[in-house]
Amino acid sequence: AGLTSLPDEGLVAIHDAVRPFPSIDLIRTAFDTAATHGSAIPSIPLKDSIRKISSSGSDSVSVNRSDFIAVQTPQCFDISLLKPAFAAPYSPAFTDDASVFEAAGHSITLCPGDPVNMKLTTPEDLIIARALLDR
């Protein structure tokens, strides 16, 4: 089923189940942005310093974190553009739905994300999530 079961026109949001805290405002912003631009990828600035590691993994260099962002879901798209993008053969470069859309030649439009819309992937993330639920 998936995308093929959806109409050929309109907008679609694709969301990771491991991000249980999307706000109504975030969802609304993503849909509004996609309605205007064809895509909407929520993003937030990086807080940590980051380094680029060498191919051997033994060396690293500092990079300017302001040149990077963290992306989130829901990622929203014009479905008439997204469906054909997913007809392309798989590539290891596809890390999210936006990368599939972009590989098909479409532009990605960023919209403001929400730091509370965190991805739960480690036991420590669950501790933070519990604190968010208890607030």
Domain CATH for 66:
3.90.550.10
Query: Range of 79's domain?
Result: 2-134
How many structural domains is the chain composed of? Answer: 1
Rg (C-alpha) for the chain, rounded Å, is 17
pLDDT band of residue 1 (cuts 50, 70, 90) is low
Q: Which tens digits make up the pLDDT trace of 12-57?
A: 999 999 999 999 999 999 999 999 999 999 999 999 999 999 989 8
Grade residue 79 by pLDDT with cuts at 50, 70 and 90.
very high
What confidence tens digit (pLDDT) does each residue in 100-135 have? 999 999 999 999 999 999 999 999 999 999 999 998
